[in-house]
Amino acid sequence: MKEILLCKYGEIVLKGANRKYFEDMLCREMKKRAKAYGNFDVYRSQSTIYIEPLDDFADFEGVCVAASKVFGIVALSRAAVCEKNMDSIRKTAREYIPAFLDGKKTFKVESKRSDKTFPLDSMELSREIGGEILSVCPKMSVDVHNPDVVVRVEVREYGAYVSAGRIKGAGGMPIGTNGRGLLLLSGGIDSPVAGYMMAKRGLKIEAVHFESFPYTSEKAREKVLDLAKQVATYAGDIYVHVVSLTHIQEELVKACDEDYFTLLLRRYMMTIAEKIAKQHGCGTLITGESLGQVASQTMKAIEVTDAAVKETPVFRPCIGMDKEEIVQIARKIGTFETSILPFEDCCTVFTPKHPKTRPELEKVLVEERKLDFDALVEEALESVDTVRIVAEY
């Protein structure tokens, strides 16, 4: 019996005249991921992407997992393919469905007849297939309100498909359909989640990571690259631009009021990030800030750091979330355990004892003018080391 994977679109169906663009991007991403698991035919029809194994060597289990992480897909169904006639559909239901009902007590059948030339309507088809399943699973009962398993029969353009249960998809929009964004990626919990969330909205992600070697270690850098690799399973390949802040931080310690260190450093980071974003065609910066979480993330502190960004919008998808909500997403995408590894972060180096939580921009600028801001930014840009993280699907 031939199995196929049916991948259902999400909000792409609302895109009107632009829908084909989104479908093409989604199908291209799905083909790329399926290729890693063998020989598959990937095609689309009627708001569904079909992933069909072409030989016995194709890793169907693997492609199911990979497809569940593709943004733009809301649900996936493993389905048996059969001819569009009742004898074939009945036989397929009897042979394919019982394995999915093992250990369950109730089911219902939902049918969809996209091919209107099919002689039975959806209600009639559901009754027929429900009877077939009861004939081979007599201990089961039908519950149309709260079943343990939903059996689906779809009569579509290319054939009939019988399935049981669904895999939840990643949702969102296909990667790259909303441009490119540069993620400020630290070694913490929040920024990988922010990158994931904006990739889910269709941004192609690049990242910038700020290090302070030798105050931060090689292990700290490896940790960040591991986080990028975990985000890449959803977001695709990611270029990580690693920037040294060591000299900037040492100069800040020599010349500036300690209470302003974090704010001044954040302004350097945002300025450097904006320049890297422009160099690489990124239309926005992305940070993992959550309002009020730490001293540098109060409303006044964010106002001061944003003032260092001249033209580029800053997206903060975690801004209204509490820590537990962010942790839940980090666990879901697999970054949490890496994020809590106890390695240094550049923002924890030279941390002031009494950081300003209600800073005034003019006073920050007075401190900033004690150093040659532009020269230090250009020096930091010369230190950029770019690492390509290849997604492992």
CATH code of the domain covering residue 109 = 3.30.2130.30
191 and 129 inside one domain: no
160 and 190 inside one domain: no
- Give me 119's structure tokens: 């002689």
- β-pairing, 238-244 vs 106-113, is unpaired
> 76-80, 85-89, 294-298: which has the minimum mean pLDDT?
294-298
Total of domains in the chain: 2
Per-residue confidence (pLDDT) for residue 46, from 0 to 100: 85
Residues 220-241 pLDDT 10s: 999 999 999 999 999 999 999 9
Q: How far apart are CA 12 and CA 14, in angstroms?
A: 5
CATH code of the domain covering residue 267 = 3.40.50.620
Percentage of the chain surpassing pLDDT 70? 98
Q: 353 pLDDT band (50/70/90 cuts)?
A: confident
Domain that holds residue 125: 3-168
163 and 237 inside one domain: no
Assess if residue 175 is contained within a domain.
no
Asked whether residue 344 carries a pLDDT value surpassing 70, the answer given is no
Asked whether residue 175 carries a pLDDT value surpassing 90, the answer given is yes
Residues 188-209 pLDDT 10s: 999 999 999 999 999 999 999 9
256 and 279 inside one domain: yes
- Give me 51's structure tokens: 């992933």
pTM: predicted TM-score of the whole model, two decimal places: 0.92
Per-residue confidence (pLDDT) for residue 216, from 0 to 100: 85
**Prior bond to 214 cis, omega within 30?**
yes
Instruction: Name which of 269, 203, 267 is nearest 238 in CA terms.
Output: 203
Asked whether residue 275 carries a pLDDT value surpassing 70, the answer given is yes
Assess if residue 174 is contained within a domain.
no
391: left (phi over 0), alpha (psi -120 to 50) or beta: beta
Please list the alpha-helical segments (H only) found in 18-140: 19-35, 60-67, 86-96, 98-101, 122-136
